[in-house]
A and B are shown apart, each in its own frame.
Chain A
Amino acid sequence: SQKIEQNSEALNIQEGKTATLTCNYTNYSPAYLQWYRQDPGRGPVFLLLIRENEKEKRKERLKVTFDTTLKQSLFHITASQPADSATYLCALDITGGYQKVTFGTGTKLQVIP
């Protein structure tokens, strides 16, 4: 069956360090992989998208990698800040924009001052 797995346990890191979140998937061939941030009581907010033919994408302190052989994406936040504390969701789009996206369960990140 198809699965999208993210670390279900919360990730606690010290301010200033790099946070690395993992998204693994099975039985999918995604055209795009997306990352979202969700704060308590709010809807998810889009952060980054990476295509199947891209290895890495950066935006300010954020970096996403995409390994279609390993079926894994890594999401990095460098120089983390307490304001980065939130739940981060990965989502797969298997048809390149024409169908629904499927979300992972999310990883809760806590950046400790």
Chain B
Amino acid sequence: AQSVTQLDSQVPVFEEAPVELRCNYSSSVSVYLFWYVQYPNQGLQLLLKYLSGSTLVKGINGFEAEFNKSQTSFHLRKPSVHISDTAEYFCAVSDDKGYQKVTFGTGTKLQVIP
């Protein structure tokens, strides 16, 4: 069984400031890792994913995440946030095989302050 912990339920940050959203996971097998974003009243959209290879993964909208196996973490970062980044962000994990169910964290609400 796998689990995902997002310790920060809400993160306020000023516009143009950097942000890091933390994610830790637990699994007895090798994993794939994902970050999804959910804008208000919209569906989930994939930001980025780690399947294999380079541990630094770049996604859409200027976001990136780094897979750290020893710390079982997959933190999401952006060097300069915009108002439009205000949304809820979900970290997720699956077994490292295709077509697996995804286990989500409880989400982090990013509030960008003008």
Do A and B share a complex?
no
Chain A residues close to B by CB (< 8 Å): none
